[in-house]
Structure 1
Amino acid sequence: MLIDYHTHHARCGHAVGSLEDYVKRGIEIGLGQIGLSDHIPLVHVDPAAYYPEMAMPMEELPHYVEECYALKEKYKGVIDIRVGLEADYIEGWEKELEQIINAYEWDYVIGSVHFLGEWDVTDFRQTHGWEGRNRLDVYRTYYDAVQKAAASGLYDYIGHIDVIKRFGFKPEEDVTELENAALEAVKRHDLAIELNASGLRMPAEEMFPSRRMLKYALELGIPITIGSDAHQPERLGQYLDQAREQLKEVGFSQLATFNKRKRTMIGF
């Protein structure tokens, strides 16, 4: 079965296309399952005073969920739609995040670290945030947040676990210990991770996570799913052939799928 669990649409402000556009594209490319997983509204900054077009407005969240479930019913028997949310982990804002997550019935919730405080390390407009910072310290802070996300109990899998490398800012020092500790936290709390193929079109020029991290995840027995992180309908499924091939080369034989927060493994 072909799946893609990481997608975004126009409500988030920095993607294009309607939810139905993604569903139709999924049918066109032969997906068996498509996960709709747009960004949770911002909770720790004032959206009106922050960078624009970061996430869907809070007032749009119920409409997003309603539309997802309407499409799930409309396309029943044609494509299996899973209703998800990419919910940023923000240290110190766990209660607010929990309230939003628990207000709706999700098939899965992705735990992603984009923000270190008010700095979104994945936003191309904020790469100046690296200026004057010790890169190893940033990596330590980032992977500490990933561990806390894994321990929070809020999520079903961790998204693009090493996305801190997205723009090519890396310490000179070896960060294997930090990466391994993050994966060990994922294992300890019985979460999955994703192989996010979008890194191939980023300055990192590598999927998230790296092949080395994938090998350690396999060694630990961490389940894995895949996603294109598409922000345009035509990018749905992009690079997922390469992602599946890399997973097979590393030694994975199953992918994690999710239904009402329950994980099921399928062959690929």
Structure 2
Amino acid sequence: MYHRDGHIHSPYCPHGSSDSFKQYIERGIQLGYSEMTFTEHAPLPEQFVDPVPLKDSGMKMAHLEKYIDDLTIIKKEYENDIKINIGLEVDYIEGYEKETTDFLHEWGDMLDDSILSVHFIQYSPGNYICLDYSPDSFKYLIDHYSSLETVYQRYFDTLNLSITSELGPFKPKRIGHITLVRKFQELFPRTFEDNVYIQKILKDIKNHNYSLDVNGAGLIKPHCKEIYPPLLYIHEARKLGIPLIYGSDAHAAKQLGQGLAECKHILY
């Protein structure tokens, strides 16, 4: 059976584990993977101030060349066992489109496969918060907007911008964890329906011929407990003809395969 994991982090993740590339790959082979894409968090734009306390949301720019070099060597080493792709998880940050385009122009031809994700919400001009960093950061947004639904609207509006923004020829064609805003849903339950927002995002993805990150990480988040996006919307995406790419979003080798059992009947 064809098992591709298109969203995997690495020892270069500043907020992940120190598990080696070989530990990830050997675990992937044990799980029956035939293809793996390492999608480390890309370096953030130089002028962007990372809002999380440890400033560790993205890889350091000084490490990027070594990351690519390491993967170039290891993909050759394992070429008879498994297909390894060099990738990045690129942040879409509203207001930093030019910087992101310039970054992709410089590094994009060295990548095999990448993801475009939204983690940062601009809640006032020049001020950002990492939506999924902690319940406290999420509550800060609710307090700022005085409404949970407005936070959802703001997230999906930013996600829409990530899909529609022109970021050059190397723009990632897969959109990451589109229901990340639900990460703390058990702490901050909805009293409104978010279906219309998610359906619009799926249509936007379809209209731009992008693919969807079917992300198992939400299932193990203690206040989320569902795949990003939930199975209902994975079915909807399939009906629309959107390519579905499973991603464990693993930040440690032991996390490979998370959520796959729950969604593989749709994917394969």
TM range (shorter): 0.7 to 0.9
SS in 1 for 2:114: strand
Does the 8 A contact of 2:52 with 2:133 survive in 1?
no
CA distance in 1, matches of 2:52, 2:205: 34
Q: Percent identity?
A: 29
Does the 8 A contact of 1:109 with 1:156 survive in 2?
yes
**C-alpha deviation, 1:129, in angstroms:** 2.0
**C-alpha deviation, 1:14, in angstroms:** 1.2
CA distance in 1, matches of 2:52, 2:237: 39
1:162 aligns to 2:182 (yes or no): no
Query: Which aligned pairs between 1:18-33 and structure 2 lie closer than 5 A?
Result: 18-33=20-35
Q: Which moved more, 1:169-178 or 1:32-41?
A: 169-178
CA distance in 2, matches of 1:211, 1:102: 35
Pairing partner for 2:201 from 182, 185, 188:
182
Query: Which aligned pairs between 1:13-162 and structure 2 lie closer than 5 A?
Result: 13-16=14-17, 17-43=19-45, 45-47=48-50, 50-104=53-107, 105-117=110-122, 118-124=128-134, 126-132=137-143, 133-153=146-166, 154-162=171-179
**C-alpha deviation, 1:48, in angstroms:** 9.7
CA distance in 2, matches of 1:235, 1:41: 23
1:11 aligns to 2:18 (yes or no): no
**C-alpha deviation, 1:167, in angstroms:** 1.0
Map Cα deviations across residues 54-109 of structure 1 (whole Å, 9 max, x no partner): 22111111111111111111111111101111001111111111222222221112
**C-alpha deviation, 1:170, in angstroms:** 4.4
Normalising by structure 2, we get a TM-score of 0.86
Runs of 4+ with deviation above 6 angstroms: none
Amino acid at match of 1:12: C
5+ residue gaps in structure 1? 253-267
Does the 8 A contact of 1:11 with 1:55 survive in 2?
no
The root-mean-square deviation of aligned C-alpha atoms, in Å, is 1.9
Aligned to 1:193: 212
SS in 1 for 2:249: coil
CA distance in 1, matches of 2:194, 2:138: 20
SS in 1 for 2:88: strand
Normalising by structure 1, we get a TM-score of 0.86
Aligned residues: 248
Aligned to 1:173: 192
Aligned to 2:125: none
Pairing partner for 2:238 from 211, 214, 218:
218
CA distance in 2, matches of 1:86, 1:142: 18
Aligned to 1:208: 228
Amino acid at match of 1:126: S
SS in 2 for 1:10: coil
Q: Which moved more, 1:192-201 or 1:118-127?
A: 118-127
